[in-house]
Structure 1
């Protein structure tokens, strides 16, 4: 008697529209390994993912069933998608050829009927009907009657175990990445001391599936069809060498600095080689996360450590580990530029070893469809994008194994903290229900009493040690440098000779110290990163350093970058590069910033002097030997000082791990008294404790967004939802009744939301109305949502998209963001008249809703008029000139792009609100076209060109449009040298790829 088996697991599909599943390959490998370990002899064939084509599965099934004798026992296990038509879905499913690219159940039943095998067991871990997030593929054409009847089966012993009823779902266990049926089979047979009678086995199986699904809040009933003559025993399973190879016990693994233990934990040798090339050895913090905090055992972890301590790599280790186990990870960061940088790095490192990396930041080139289809291993996102994709959608978060929140100290940020805190709250709620996903928070060091890990129920890994030595100090005008020694003592040394510090202008200034300091770094072959708090100041310092240094011409860095639509700052950047310096700010195009970052991070490149705004301190990869902080206050009427945390982030850019062996941070002071004060305030300053951004002033916003996550709640329990947030936890930790102190604020907020139609109630249970769901799901605060509703009601008619563009300027994200404005004189008055003329009196009147202060309406009108020029394809220099009143309030390229980005960020939800308030809908194609115009700044006739790769910038698109090229076919039909005027290697490669793909389609 022989045992023959076939295990099939299909998680990845060639068709981009077919959702992928994390569990099936693991199901198949685990079952094959267990049976192979437990039975002596036999055949154990395995097909997973790309191997599991229609042809391969059909051929293997035929071989399994047709060649069996009356002495054989056969087992067939399938895990993957099932269809409504009762088909099994292979890797190469093609919905235009369903009959040729699926495995119908009728085919399997026929094989069971005609096979001479003594016993046949079929485990089908797939579902055969609808269900979001389950193993089902809907919408396939029905080409045949693929139903089956039990009466068709013949033979001595036949059993089919299906994961769900014909109208049910087959679910996956989120915390284990196994199908519920497969997990129940393995648990039942591993716990058995001896082979189980088939009846007992099936009863236990059904109980386990039902119970496990119920634990997650779902219903799943396994179905057993059997025809047994005599006793049939199902073998008990004992894991051995084969199972351990694919599913190692990570709790028993110890790791060392040379990555030993990684392959034992199930990480491929090819990935370990990638790590060793990028970061040769692990540091103490990383080893602690692995060995002491057991990072790979899926428990949540908060890592608090200084900049350049290597904590981000801990998140990378976790995400790659989960990918090797078939799981998916989200890697969340605060800024789009940071997400782009990390996505490019991850794709470059892991693409060749089979990991799929996607990016979702709110741009048109985002891979959101790939996210919802599960076609990724690691997804890079901003906080806000992740919240918009996950909130109110429990099926999506159930499919994620790990969420890494980088720069998690943003939870305390007054503006963006709500998004971070709600993400953490969402993960906590999911963990309570399905024990997943793992949460990893990577934060700068905070005050000792931070309780974030307690609230999250996570381990804390805290370190104040940097693997790269950093000397912090303050430089006075006499050249003395007051600093801390490695053993923590204050010491003063002469960093710059007194004789080299000379007054360079009419009055003494920081420039007098900076110039000789930078010259000294250049002479020593060291790089220096200079932080200033404003874009104009950053450019200014780079320009005067260029005049003083005249190091060399590095302008080839910008070869082919943004030449078709340069801003004023683009020209100034080229001037700086021609004499050996550079600056980095939002006034530069993304391609220009990226080119500067790459050159400065390259230790072999001669560019050694870079001035940057403070936002670069949030993780953009720009290591330097020294960091110079010229001012310690943000500009503006309030003169807000840097926090200690902001100072630490900036100073931490010096001496980056893996780039520079040691670093030095230098704060500039005008005199010795200020030197001592700055030293005490920042170098010896106490780090703030992480706090919550929960605000009683925005209680309506918190209520809306919390209700989106839990659907419905009794009104008198609403305050308990706030108690489950970080803010509520901190309040409760102070005194037992402190959360109840919010009850009046919560009741008032609920009453307000009921009055305006964003909440409704039934039997005292609160739930969101359609309007409330739209507002809660968006990034709009309650105040902003109400402004939009009131504005639309005031208009009282359906709005064109350009009219909505004007109304959007009422929301807080637009109002609160800096709009260059000349308060004196009559220059800004013109925008009131231009807006009235461009949008009409009704829209103009609606734009005044919520406008506070003397100039708020003028700024809104200015932004709206500017955006009309932007989407018309007006050159950026022309817009800069038109909207600049004087040199103190100049409209720069960064302002223009930010105004367009802020508008685009909330434009989609505003159209949904318009649909509810005015009964108006917009065609998806029309809306997508308008959003692309806002993103790229092109006229309607050039929208198709925005589908081109990122190598082509706005300048390229506008150049082509002027030349009469409005589509990709127009581009391909032209002469390359004429069309791609500002070419570089990246653009040449992108153009060649477009042409190649076009040629292949024609074939």
Structure 2
């Protein structure tokens, strides 16, 4: 038999005994979870005024006193104690402590005398005195002291598990209204999927409490006394009937899946009607669970991990509309500028036009609505990760306006480079809770492995599934035409293609030999196909040979939607491929071209039968297919990086169009049967990688300066707490409780260096960033990169440090050196002379600063020249031809656009740092002009044409500029045919659009 009792006391009859906020709640929660989990548990719950001294002794008689040799006794106590070894009950009197408390000596005697096989006492109170007032400021409340001889209570088969060691506070967290210790016990039990040994419970709880306390700047180390027998286990925890009765606030709004029911949750009827029209089948299982079980419409934070097309994005939309209905603002964070623009346009059409909501975007380009967002004049806003981080740090009040944050593609936290940004912006949100700012957080992730405490760090529920609305069959195909796939009964091999259909088409074997017959086979079966290639060149080349060999009808609808003017080589390749019914999607296409391709491929009756794409299509772009073909399993480069299992799974997940197919198919290509079997084991049967932090404890400088921007002053000894609040710090503390102590010497050396470099100033024991330090910390630059920029600025003659010169100097930063620059093997020295001639010797020679080699220096010159040509309005095709060395080393539109975007991203920070180092005011108007030119690729004189009120492409603007027609009056004065003669088929639309504007003028 399992006997027990759970006692929790917040309220005391004696006015001189302070109240607690979570002790009764702790006892109730622990009682409910264990009672719901252990079928034969006989355990009363005693709280507040029922928890008298007499009642306490009675329950000890009924448990410890009545137990026999087969019984296990579970006891829990949460509340106050005294420094002379007594537990404080509801009727304890400060004037008569000996007779109105329960002495630990009495409890120890009862432990010794009981015949129970085992006793477990969970004691959530602390053994030091009161905590200093600053604990309350941190959002934590100490429980008073219980300092008693623990060894006397414990023994063989007698386990006392206390919330903290003898000289530490046991802390409460008012956000959850639980003690850290009890909440950890409950969390560990609920997460268990098998019976849990007591020693394992102790280990997990200790790690979790230590890590959570460290995030708030405190040390709390749960301590176990006694010895356990080998078979002493607890079952996995459940939130059953008792728990739901005890905590009715955890009972969420319920739905059967009929979207029309959502109006009862407070979502505007107009949105419900729009959703019902779009999704007449209603919510799917994942969405129903998010609402019913996880309370996403009740303000609960949630991490959703699900395959592509599982419906997780709509969970974010549900939460957003509910937040807005409650008078809160919602923001969506996305990895790419293109996704921000796509979602902005989709939401503007549905929620802006139909519901009258104010939709905004901030992605780091000239269309940004930064001022609108900072003034709170929006309902839904879309950000790139980087833009949200910089704005939320520089304008901390922005977080006070936000009621919901939806982070899409959360798996990017594991990506090199991007991972730090994701982790820092989430750290900022987690830290804000300590000052009462706690927006609901929804993180949406594609397929990952184990969550690795990520949800716990965020304080989110976890909803993870591998279920897909359209089942996916994965397999590997080799050059013999044999396909090994994962069938219902395990691996099976079939002959998918006739081996004679696969023939060598070039001088040597290549993936083309397999792709052509495979795509023909699939298209003949009526399927739509995506072929994933690992780089831009292979993607366009693959589309070209498929168009030539398959003989499909032209995708004329897409050709007609493509922009005219300023065509790149890739633009012309796209048109040729579309003539054969094939499209490709890569970074060398313009945004308008990519959008035309995406829309054409999405259409059920569209004329694009196959799309060849790079891996970015797998990250949120809405392009579902019947079958996905993955041609390679690694990325090209000096050191070929193999795909992770998660990357493969996300590409494979694009297969299966909801409402069109009974199943999707993903086919990975191999050369030989041996490789087929190896890839099948590695990818098809492989498990996605565990989610991890990108924090590097050996290089904490960038993390420290970024985290210091989130506070005004911080005691030197508390800097380690900032690091502990990151996901990386949290994991480190879980894995090694001594991590904090080991980190301190590293941080001390780093802080001394930052003080010497003028980034930090000291005020007694407090540290704060200097103006320069804050500029560096609020920038996207690494610490090393920021200091290199400072060095450069101090070396250059201030007279030479113009805006244009600063644009050149950013090429010296490590972030730009890491960019791939197409060059011949030994570099291209001719760009050195061209750079010196164009930028002057002072700035040109500065490009050599800290270059790793001559080749790296030439690459800097080449990039700076390309960006210079771009903002001068040089035609894209001319830039490509000028800087492409040969057919194998070519510069494409994606390179040009990438260099311009990268320069713009870094230039914003460089301008602010330069103003401080050079001690001169920043010319904000001139800087804004240059940033806009980088966005649009235009000379300053052509910029007015971008503000006509009619959306023109770069090619159209340049055509008008070169013809001398620089304003709406000049354009409106021309005949419509003349305008069409200048810019192409949209000339008539432009001419017509200018007429009303002329009337207004």
TM-score (normalised: structure 1): 0.73
Partner of 1:377: 379
Deviation at 1:505, TM superposition (A): 2.4
Cα distance change on mapping 1:403 and 1:846 into 2, 3 Å: same
Alignment partners' CA distance in 2, 1:711 and 1:969: 52
Partner residue in 1 for 2:817: 815
* Alpha-carbon distance in 2 for matches of 1:645, 1:656: 20
The answer on whether the counterparts of 1:623 and 1:659 sit within 8 Å (CA) in structure 2 is no
Provide the residue aligned with 1:766 in structure 2.
Answer: 767
Task: Give the superposition deviation at 1:965.
Answer: 2.1
Question: Partners in 2 of 1:987 and 1:644 — Cα distance?
Answer: 49
Shift of 1:728: 0.2
Contact in 1 for aligned 2:785/2:814 (Cα 8 Å): yes
Classify 1:419/1:488 alpha carbon distance in 2 versus 1 (closer, same or farther; 3 Å).
farther
Number of positions where the alignment pairs a residue of Structure 1 with one of Structure 2 = 752
CA distance in 1, matches of 2:581, 2:498: 24
What do the CA deviations read for 1:327-356 (whole angstroms, capped 9, x no partner)?
A: 111111101111111111111221212222
Deviations 1:343-395 (A, max 9, x none): 11111221212222222111101122221122221111110011111114221
Give the conservation status (yes or no) of the 8 Å contact 1:561–1:982.
no
Rounded to whole Å, the distance in 2 between the matches of 1:984 and 1:360 is 31
Which runs of structure 2 are paired with 1:49-60 in the superposition (5 Å)? none
What do residues 667-708 of structure 1 show as CA deviations (whole Å, max 9, x unaligned)? 011111110000011011121111111123542211111011
Contact 1:792–1:846 (Cα < 8 Å) also in 2 = no
2:959–2:982 contact (8 Å) kept in structure 1: no
| Distance in 2 (alpha carbons) for counterparts of 1:424 and 1:659 | 38
Moved more, 981-990 or 646-655: 981-990
Name the residue aligned to 1:305: 306
Distance in 2 (CA, whole Å) between partners of 1:703 and 1:980 is: 56
The worse-fitting range, judged by mean Cα deviation, of 487-496 and 449-458 is 487-496
Distance 2:698 2:975 in 1: 59
Structure 1 position 396, deviation (Å): 0.6
Please give the alpha-carbon distance, in whole angstroms, between the structure 2 residues aligned to 1:689 and 1:950: 48
- Find the counterpart in structure 2 of residue 113 from structure 1: none
Counterpart of 1:861 in structure 2 is 861
CA shift, 1:612, in A, is: 0.5
In structure 2, C-alpha distance between the alignment counterparts of 1:804 and 1:660, rounded to whole Å: 54
Q: CA deviation at 1:729?
A: 0.3
Aligned to 1:870: 870
Output the CA distance in 2 between the equivalents of 1:709 and 1:496: 59
Unaligned 5+ segments in structure 1 are 1-174, 176-248
| Alignment counterpart, residue 396 of structure 2, candidates 394, 403, 406 | 394
Q: Name the CA distance, whole Å, in 2 between partners of 1:991 and 1:273.
A: 39
Sort the Cα spacing of 1:388 and 1:595 in 2 relative to 1 into closer, same or farther, 3 A.
Answer: same
Asked if structure 1 preserves the Cα contact closer than 8 Å seen for 2:403 and 2:439, the reply is yes
1:261 and 2:249 matched = no
SS at match of 1:359: strand
Post-superposition offset of 1:991: 6.3
Q: What TM-score, normalized by structure 2, do the two folds share?
A: 0.73
CA displacement, residues 274-329 of structure 1 (integer Å, 9 cap, x when unaligned): 11232332111111000000001212111111222111111111112112222111
SS in 1 for 2:891: coil
Q: Deviations over 1:702-754 (max 9, x none)?
A: 11110111222111111111011100000001011123322222222212211
User: What's the counterpart of residue 903 of structure 1?
Assistant: 903
| Displacement of 1:782 | 1.0
- Kindly provide the CA deviation profile for residues 404-423 of structure 1, in whole angstroms up to 9, marking residues without a partner as x: 10011111112011111111
Q: How far apart in 1 are the matches of 2:374 and 2:771?
A: 22
Q: 1:862 is paired with a residue of what secondary structure?
A: helix
**Residue 941, structure 1, aligned to residue 935, structure 2:** no
Secondary structure at the counterpart of residue 710 of structure 2: helix
Contact 1:791 1:847 in 2 (8 A): no
Unaligned runs of 5+ in 2: 1-174, 176-248
Aligned with 2:339: secondary structure?
Answer: helix
* 1:564/1:982 contact within 8 Å kept: no
CA drift at 1:854? 3.6
Q: Is the 8 A contact 1:473 1:665 kept in 2?
A: yes
Instruction: Report what 1:894 is aligned to.
Output: 894
Distance 1:619 1:982 in 2: 37
Q: Equivalent residue of 1:888, what SS? A: coil
Partner of 1:46: none
Q: What is the CA distance between 1:560 and its match in structure 2?
A: 5.9
Partner of 1:598: 599
Give yes or no for contact 1:398–1:430 (8 Å, CA) kept in 2. no
CA gap of 1:262–1:564, structure 2 versus 1, over 3 A, is same
Aligned-partner Cα distance in 1 for 2:260–2:648: 37
Which residue number in structure 1 is paired with residue 832 of structure 2?
A: 832
1:612-655 CA-to-partner distances (Å, cap 9, x unmatched) read: 01111111111100000001111112111111011011001111
Q: Distance in 1 between matches of 2:738 and 2:388?
A: 33
In the other structure, the counterpart of 2:416 is 414
- 1:701 is paired with a residue whose SS is helix
CA–CA separation in structure 2 for the residues paired with 1:252 and 1:780: 43
Given the superposition, is the C-alpha separation of residues 682 and 644 from structure 1 closer, same or farther in structure 2, using an over 3 Å criterion? same
| Distance in 2 between residues matched to 1:740 and 1:572, nearest whole Å | 59
Which residue is 2:528 aligned to?
527
Give the 3 Å change call, closer, same or farther, for CA 661–435 of structure 1 in structure 2.
Answer: farther
Matches within 5 A, 1:80-159: none
Quick check: 905-914 or 487-496, which moved more?
Answer: 487-496
- Residue 800 of structure 1 corresponds to 802
Secondary structure at the counterpart of residue 695 of structure 1: coil
Please give the secondary structure, in 2, of the residue aligned with 1:889. coil
My pick for the range that moved more, 413-422 or 447-456, is: 447-456
Matched ranges for 1:195-594 at <5 A = 253-280=253-280, 281-351=282-352, 352-448=354-450, 450-485=452-487, 487=488, 489-559=490-560, 561-594=562-595
Kept after mapping to 2: 8 A contact 1:531/1:613: yes
Report deviation, 1:479. Answer: 1.5
Tell me which residue corresponds to 1:634.
Answer: 635
1:475-501 residue CA offsets vs partner (Å, 9 max, x unmatched): 11121211112x361112222222322
Per the alignment, do residues 923 and 637 of structure 1 end up closer, same or farther by CA in structure 2, a change over 3 Å counting? closer
Distance 1:731 1:970 in 2: 65
| Cα distance in 2, alignment partners of residues 582 and 286 from structure 1 | 34
Relative to 1, partners in 2 of residues 1:325 and 1:621: Cα closer, same or farther, differing over 3 Å?
same
Name the CA distance, whole Å, in 2 between partners of 1:950 and 1:714.
54
CA contact (8 A) 1:655 1:664 kept: yes
Establish whether residue 714 from structure 1 lines up as the match of residue 715 from structure 2: yes
Aligned to 2:683: 682
State the partner residue of 2:952. Answer: 952
Query: In 2, are the aligned partners of 1:257 and 1:282 still within 8 Å (CA)?
Result: yes
Partners of 2:986 and 2:775 in 1: how far apart?
Answer: 40
Q: Give the aligned partner of residue 148 of structure 2.
A: none
2-structure distance, mates of 1:598, 1:982: 27
Instruction: Describe the shift of the 1:834–1:985 C-alpha distance in structure 2 as closer, same or farther (beyond 3 A).
Output: closer
Aligned to 2:737: 736
Q: Secondary structure at the match of 1:822?
A: coil
Q: Over aligned residue pairs, what C-alpha RMSD do you find? A: 2.1
Q: Deviations over 1:549-582 (max 9, x none)?
A: 1201224413363321000011111110111111
1:944-975 per-position Cα deviation (integer Å, ceiling 9, x unaligned)? 22334683111011101101122344334444
- Mapped partners of 2:624, 2:981: distance in 1: 34
Q: Secondary structure at the match of 2:510?
A: coil
- Residues 474 and 504 from structure 1, CA distance in 2 versus in 1: closer, same or farther, beyond 3 angstroms? same
User: Residue 790 of structure 1 contacts residue 849 of structure 1 at CA under 8 Å; is this kept in 2?
Assistant: no
Distance 1:546 1:259, change over 3 A: same
Pair 703,793 (structure 1): closer, same or farther in 2 beyond 3 Å:
same
Partner of 1:226: none
CA separation of 1:458/1:330 partners in 2, compared to 1, >3 Å: closer, same or farther? same
